[in-house]
């Protein structure tokens, strides 16, 4: 029996019918070369028999003295968690994304361990997919990505590799609970009292007090300047997931030419996609959109020049940058330069902060959004419009029992007033984008995939001309 941290309780509190709080990951594999045509169904049979379920996958929610706790699930029913499914013909990526969109819209059964593993056959060209869904109260996004990586190997000849629910936890390491999390900083903001707060109204009151105090402080005033936009409406319960890989080499070429980081370029691609998407809906605000960008700060504190890539660093100090996306700027090259400057300013702000100050600043940046989410009240302060998150991924080609991982895409959370989440990860020679959004608030979200590509092409063309 283990009590949930205040942060993990947040994800239970925030969850409602229209706002499920699980995260996911989609992986596409190709068959091993010598695999028979019924490879996936044989794999399914093998996985179905892998009934050794390790922590945290064997933990379910319970409550003790009105507090949520994790307990060992003695009735674990693997058939509920491991699902073997198929795509309809013609089995294109389009059908796969429709499948993930529908599955990611469904709430999870809170009376069971909060994870699902979907093995998906029916993709064309001898490929198959895995969609893993885990509740954010059980595992955060970065940890989920790490766990997935632990399931994989860079050795294509390796076999007998267990699925993610049967990975032994390395001794002395709380692999899946000790990761840095932005939401943990809210817990920090609430201070030592956080553990005793216990109820939503108390937490909300604390947040409001802190935010109101901060508005009077000129040093924090800069974090309350985002425009209103359709991205910041209330959401419905159905999702659209869109995902695509982009060539890292092309992105790096742009980043070298402009003397920016890879992260600046992908942020500029997002800015361009958002600009085009909102312009087509006649909904682009006059003022530039602001993105909340989580950054890892360890490497930043020991800067190594212009190629420092905060987000791709490993570390346990996380901050957020409120990046001005300059969506009011029509020239792509100028926009990238301005975004680079905006990101740099954000990082500079952290440069002389103590770890304690970084935690405070980060928590405060998130506090208004957390307050609105918890109370359901319309935001008085729009601090940011969209979340753009870059999760570190494997740098080399990976394999699972000889099946090559062709692409891996994060599936994150859309929330009230934050109808779109753009999460990306790097894998081998690719940058993998996963966009999740409310299907009604953001119609035809999948068009953004083309606009991201257009954003990259724009930057390449600006170089040529």
Compare residues 14 and 40 and give the one whose CB is closer to its own copies: 40
Assess contact for 237 and 17: CB atoms under 8 A.
Answer: yes
Of 106 and 287, the one with the shorter C-beta distance to its own copies is: 106
Structure tokens at 236: 């419905």
Instruction: Name the minimum Å distance from CB 238 to its own copies.
Output: 5
Residue with tokens 């005793």: 196
> Whose Cβ is closer to its own copies: residue 210's or residue 232's?
232
Q: Any idea what DSSP says for residue 16?
A: B
**Closer to its own copies at the Cβ: 41 or 344?**
41
Among 121, 329, 406, 458, binds its own copies (CB under 8 A): 121
215 is a contact residue toward its own copies (CB under 8 A): no
CB 62 to its own copies: min, Å: 13
Residue with tokens 């119609």: 443
Residue placing its CB nearer to its own copies in the complex, 89 or 354: 89
Q: Which two tokens stand for residue 340?
A: 């680079």
- C-beta of 40: minimal distance to its own copies in Å? 8
Map the footprint of its own copies across residues 416-455, applying CB under 8 A. 439-440
Strands of 190-347 (E only): list them: 239-247, 290-296, 318-324
**Can you tell me which of 238, 301, 308, 375 binds its own copies, judged by CB under 8 A?**
238
Q: Is 71 near its own copies (CB under 8 A)?
A: no
Judged by CB under 8 A, the chain residues 78 through 107 that form the site for its own copies are: 79-80, 83-90, 95, 98-99, 102, 105-107
Specify the residue, 337 or 439, whose C-beta has the smaller distance to its own copies: 439
The edge-to-edge listing of strands for the beta sheet with 386-391 is 239-247, 430-438, 420-427, 386-391, 290-296, 318-324
Site residue total, its own copies (CB under 8 A): 36
Q: Does 44 bind its own copies (CB under 8 A)?
A: yes
Chain centroid to CA 247: 20
Closest CB to its own copies among 106 and 225?
106
Contacts of 308 (CB under 8 A, 6+ apart): 261, 299, 300
Mark whether 225 is an active-site residue. Answer: no
For residue 352, how many other CB atoms are within 10 A of its CB?
Answer: 7
> Tokens 């979907």, residue?
118
Would you count residue 150 as binding its own copies (CB under 8 A)?
no
Please, what is the angle between helix 262-280 and helix 332-351, to 10°? 130
Question: How many angstroms separate the Cα of 22 from the Cα of each of 19, 118, 132, 138, 199?
Answer: 9, 14, 10, 9, 21
Choices 71-79, 153-161, 162-170, 451-459 (CB under 8 A): range interacting with its own copies: 71-79
Q: Which residues neighbour 202 within 8 Å (Cβ) at sequence distance 6 or greater?
A: none
Rounded to 5 degrees, φ, ψ at 283 are: -135, 25
Q: How far apart are CA 463 and CA 465, in angstroms?
A: 6
Q: Can you tell me which residue has the tokens 């699925």?
A: 163
Task: Identify the active-site residue in 104, 118, 136, 326.
Answer: 136
Give kind and range of the element (H or E) at residue 342.
helix 332-351
Nearer to its own copies by Cβ, of 90 and 355: the residue is 90
Asked if 115 and 138 touch (Cβ cutoff 8 Å), the reply is yes
Distance CA 363, CA 306 (A): 27
Site string for its own copies, 296-325 (x = CB under 8 A): ------------------------------
Q: Of 5, 30, 41, 153, which one interacts with its own copies (CB under 8 A)?
A: 41
Q: Which residues pair with 403 in a beta bridge?
A: 400
Phi then psi for residue 195, to 5 deg, are -65, -25
CB of 69 to its own copies, least distance (A): 18
User: Does 249 engage in binding with its own copies (CB under 8 A)?
Assistant: no
Residue 341 interacts with its own copies (CB under 8 A): yes or no = no
Among 3, 13, 112, 126, binds its own copies (CB under 8 A): 112
35 scored as a contact of its own copies (CB under 8 A): no
Q: Which residues are catalytic?
A: 136
Residues that bind its own copies (CB under 8 A): 17-18, 38, 40-41, 44, 75, 77, 79-80, 83-90, 95, 98-99, 102, 105-107, 109-112, 121-122, 236-238, 439-440
């Amino acid at each position: 029996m283990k009590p949930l941290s205040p942060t993990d309780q947040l994800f239970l509190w925030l969850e409602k019918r229209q706002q499920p709080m699980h995260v996911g990951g989609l992986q596409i594999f190709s068959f091993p070369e010598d695999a028979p045509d019924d490879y996936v169904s044989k794999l399914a049979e093998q996985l179905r028999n892998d009934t050794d379920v390790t922590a945290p996958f064997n933990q379910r929610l319970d409550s003790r003295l009105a507090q949520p706790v994790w307990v060992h699930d003695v009735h674990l029913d693997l058939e509920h968690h491991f699902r073997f499914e198929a795509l309809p013909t013609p089995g294109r990526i389009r059908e796969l994304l429709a499948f993930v969109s529908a599955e990611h819209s469904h709430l999870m059964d809170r009376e069971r361990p909060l994870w699902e593993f979907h093995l998906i056959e029916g993709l064309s060209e001898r490929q198959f997919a895995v969609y893993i869904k885990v509740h954010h109260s059980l595992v955060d996004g970065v940890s989920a990505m790490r766990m997935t990586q632990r399931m994989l190997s860079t050795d294509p000849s390796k076999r007998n590799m267990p699925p993610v629910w049967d990975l032994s936890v390395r001794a002395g390491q709380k692999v899946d609970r000790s990761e840095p999390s932005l939401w943990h900083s809210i817990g920090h903001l609430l201070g030592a009292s956080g553990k005793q707060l216990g109820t939503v109204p108390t937490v909300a009151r604390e947040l409001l007090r802190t935010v109101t105090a901060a508005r009077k402080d000129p040093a924090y005033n800069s974090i309350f300047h985002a425009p209103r936009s359709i991205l910041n409406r209330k959401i419905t319960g159905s999702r659209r997931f869109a995902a695509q890989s982009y060539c890292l080499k092309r992105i790096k070429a742009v980043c070298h030419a402009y003397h920016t980081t890879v992260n600046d370029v992908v942020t500029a691609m997002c800015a361009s996609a958002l600009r085009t998407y909102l312009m087509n809906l006649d909904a682009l605000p006059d003022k530039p959109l602001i993105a909340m960008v989580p950054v890892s700060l360890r490497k930043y504190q020991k800067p190594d020049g212009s190629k420092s890539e905060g987000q791709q660093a490993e570390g346990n100090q996380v901050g957020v940058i409120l990046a001005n996306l300059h969506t009011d700027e029509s020239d792509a090259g100028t926009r990238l330069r301005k975004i680079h400057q905006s990101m740099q300013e954000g990082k500079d702000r952290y440069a002389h902060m103590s770890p304690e100050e970084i935690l405070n600043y980060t928590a405060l940046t998130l506090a208004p959004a957390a307050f609105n989410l918890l109370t359901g009240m319309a935001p008085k302060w729009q601090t940011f419009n969209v979340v753009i998150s870059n999760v570190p991924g494997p740098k080399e080609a990976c394999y699972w029992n000889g099946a090559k991982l062709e692409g891996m895409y994060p599936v994150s959370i859309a929330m009230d007033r934050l109808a779109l989440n753009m999460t990306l990860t790097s894998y081998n020679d690719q940058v993998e984008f996963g966009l999740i959004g409310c299907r009604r608030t953001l119609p035809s979200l999948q068009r953004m995939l083309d606009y991201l590509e257009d954003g990259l092409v724009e930057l390449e063309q600006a170089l040529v001309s």
